[in-house]
């Protein structure tokens, strides 16, 4: 069998400089690092990426930071200091990609816009990540994940049906969407550069990324049609599709997709073949319209069964189902264990578990290096860039690094 532990990775030899904080840009660049890129994370001296202090849940480290910052080098640098310009110039002369998600307009004020850099560094790819993009009336508006969930209409589709029942996603979905599109756009820009020899500018808007993910509810509400209703953990327009309580107090998630499955669900799971021909439930639109009555019938059938017994019947009927897991369950998920998806990385707090990146390749192993301490690589990087020990000492004394 092919040994992938020493195989070259797709982005070996690519250098990424990132002025990043929070989630969107760090998630993008961590994935570039997973593929072998060298990622130099520029952080504010003494403070660093403010995500470092979101919490202390991972042996004293922040959960967001551990997740999105492995395999990077940390360079502390006050980018507003006059002396920083020479350092950035030397960094960018060696870089392939610059990624930034600073406050709106901040990168341009620092002379780090694509237009400012392209003439000097024609091969440099510049990826700007912002809430709303680099033009338009919302350009300078502050944007956090929850605010983008709101602007993109996401909150209109989540939560319970009550008037005040909206609920945000339990993870940073707008940041994640932006990070994923930034990541894929950088990969495409690297491929394009192979053909043209020129770097390009990527302008990633969190709003546009999340609105793209809202394509189904948008089209469902096409030309003024009624939008999908909030339906809690159930599907808004397909039924039965969602959580149902079993008799032991646990919950089972199940989903039906077509009429054949509805017939089998009635025969095998509910053990009520007559129900399949009830006109109230004769199609998905009818089942969805009468979902409250159908829910009562399903809950009644499940009340004498444990969750495991319900799942056994669903498996016998080949009906899609899932356990309703919490975070502790996911840490111990048997499928992840069986596929050996957990590995170990180093960090300032010692060894930590880490999930291997999705997409198992037979050609290479992803890079899974340490989570950096603040400024851990500053001296080595500056020496590499040609600064003397004395000049580095002076930069540190002045608080530039």
Looking at residue 268, its pLDDT comes to 96
* Whether the predicted pLDDT of 339 surpasses 70: yes
Q: What is the mean pLDDT of the chain?
A: 94
Higher pLDDT among residues 228 and 207, named by residue: 207
- The pLDDT value given to residue 228: 87
**100 found inside a domain:** yes
Residue labelled with tokens 């929850």: 146
Q: What is the pLDDT of residue 6?
A: 83
* Residues 79-96: tens digit of each pLDDT: 999 999 999 999 999 999
pLDDT tens digits for range 288-329: 999 999 999 999 999 999 999 999 999 999 999 999 998 999
Tell me phi and psi for residue 75, to 5 degrees.
-115, 115
- State the average pLDDT over residues 207-221: 95
**pLDDT 10s digits, 24-34:** 999 999 999 99
- Specify whether 43 is located in the same domain as 155: yes
> Do the beta carbons of residue 27 and residue 176 sit within 8 Å?
yes
Same domain, 111 and 252: no
Say yes or no to pLDDT of 2 above 60: no
User: Residue 203 has what DSSP assignment?
Assistant: E
Q: What is the pLDDT of residues 126-177, one digit of tens each?
A: 999 999 999 999 999 989 999 999 999 999 999 988 878 899 999 999 999 9
Which CATH number do you get for residue 178? 3.40.50.10540
Mark whether 156 and 274 lie in a shared domain: no
Q: Are both 40 and 89 inside the same structural domain?
A: yes
Handedness of CA 110, 114, 120, 121 (dihedral sign): positive
Contacts 24+ apart (CB under 8 A), 5-13: 5/365, 7/363, 7/364, 7/365, 8/36, 8/364, 9/35, 9/36, 9/364, 9/365, 9/366, 9/367, 10/35, 10/36, 10/364, 11/35, 11/36, 11/37, 11/190, 12/36, 12/37
For residues 75 and 197, membership in a common domain is answered with: yes
Whether 72 is in a domain gets the answer yes
CB 280 within 8 A of CB 291: no
Q: Is residue 338 a part of any domain in this protein? A: no
Average pLDDT over residues 96-113: 94
Is residue 37 domain-shared with residue 109, that is, in the same domain? yes
268: which DSSP letter?
Answer: I
Q: Are residues 23 and 162 in the same domain?
A: yes
Instruction: Clarify whether residues 204 and 251 are in a common domain.
Output: no
Domain containing residue 287: CATH number: 3.30.1540.10
Residue with tokens 């589709």, as numbered in its chain? 157
* Domain, as residue range, for 359: 15-213+344-397
Query: 4 in a domain, yes or no?
Result: no
What does each C-alpha distance from 394 to 75, 143, 219, 375, 387 come to in angstroms?
16, 37, 59, 16, 11
Query: Residue 23 gets which letter from DSSP?
Result: S
Residue 223 lies in a domain: no
- Compute the average pLDDT of residues 220-241: 89
Read off the pLDDT of residues 366-375 as tens digits, 9 standing for 90 and up.
999 999 999 9
- The span from the CA of 61 to the CA of 51, in Å, is 10
Of 324, 359, 387, which marks where a domain is finished?
A: 324
Other C-beta atoms within 10 Å of 82: how many? 9
Same domain? For 95 and 194 the reply is yes
Strand 251-255 relative to strand 320-323, pairing: antiparallel
Residue range 325-337: mean pLDDT, rounded: 93
Number of folded domains in the chain? 2
205 and 352 assigned to the same domain = yes
DSSP-derived secondary structure letter, 53: G
Q: What is the pLDDT of residue 3?
A: 63
2 assigned to some structural domain: no
Please give the model's pTM, rounded to 2 decimal places: 0.91
Helix (H) or strand (E) holding 253: strand 251-255
Kindly state whether residue 208 falls inside one of the protein's structural domains.
yes
Q: How far is CA 381 from the centre of its chain?
A: 29
Which of 292, 324, 356 lies at the terminal end of a domain, its last residue?
324
Q: Are 126 and 105 in contact (CB under 8 A)?
A: no
Residue 5 domain flag: no
Same domain, 208 and 245: no
Last residue of a domain, one of 295, 324, 353: 324
Interval 170-199: pLDDT, tens: 999 999 999 999 999 999 999 999 999 999
Q: Do both 203 and 276 map to the same domain?
A: no
């Amino acid at each position: 069998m092919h040994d992938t532990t020493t195989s070259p990775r797709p982005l070996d030899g690519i250098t990424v400089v990132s002025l990043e904080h929070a989630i969107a840009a760090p998630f993008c660049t961590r994935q570039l690092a997973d593929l072998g890129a060298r990622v130099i994370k520029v952080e504010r001296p003494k403070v660093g990426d403010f995500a470092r202090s979101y919490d202390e849940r991972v042996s004293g480290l922040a959960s967001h930071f551990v997740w999105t910052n492995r395999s990077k080098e940390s360079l502390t640098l006050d980018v507003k200091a006059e002396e920083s310009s020479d350092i950035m110039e030397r960094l960018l002369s060696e870089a392939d990609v610059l990624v930034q998600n600073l406050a709106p307009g901040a990168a341009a004020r620092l002379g780090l816009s694509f237009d400012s850099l392209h003439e000097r560094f024609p091969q440099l790819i510049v990826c700007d990540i912002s809430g709303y993009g680099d033009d338009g009336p919302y350009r300078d508006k502050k944007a956090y994940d929850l605010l983008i969930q709101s602007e993109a209409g996401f909150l209109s589709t989540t939560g319970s049906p009550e008037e005040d029942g909206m609920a945000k996603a339990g993870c940073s979905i707008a940041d994640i969407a932006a990070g994923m599109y930034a990541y894929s756009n950088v990969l495409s820009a690297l491929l394009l550069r192979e053909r043209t020899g020129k770097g390009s500018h990527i302008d990633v808007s969190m709003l546009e990324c999340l609105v793209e993910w809202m394509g189904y509810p948008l089209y469902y509400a096409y030309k003024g049609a009624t939008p999908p209703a909030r339906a809690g953990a159930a599907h808004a327009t397909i039924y039965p599709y969602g959580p149902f309580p079993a008799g032991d107090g646990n919950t089972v998630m199940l989903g039906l997709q077509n009429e054949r499955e509805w017939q089998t669900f009635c025969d095998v799971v509910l053990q009520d073949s007559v129900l399949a021909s009830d006109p109230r439930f004769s199609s998905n639109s009818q089942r969805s319209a009468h979902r409250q009555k159908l829910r009562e019938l399903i809950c009644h059938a499940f009340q004498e069964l444990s969750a495991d017994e319900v799942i056994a019947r669903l498996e016998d009927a080949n009906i899609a189902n899932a356990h309703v897991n919490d975070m502790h369950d996911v840490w111990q998920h048997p499928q992840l264990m069986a596929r050996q998806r957990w590995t170990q990385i180093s960090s300032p707090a010692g060894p930590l578990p880490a999930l291997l990146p999705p997409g198992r390749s037979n050609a290479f192993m992803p890079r899974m290096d340490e989570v950096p301490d603040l400024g851990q690589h500053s001296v080595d990087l500056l020496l590499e860039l040609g600064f003397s020990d004395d000049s580095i000492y002076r930069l540190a004394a002045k608080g530039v690094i």
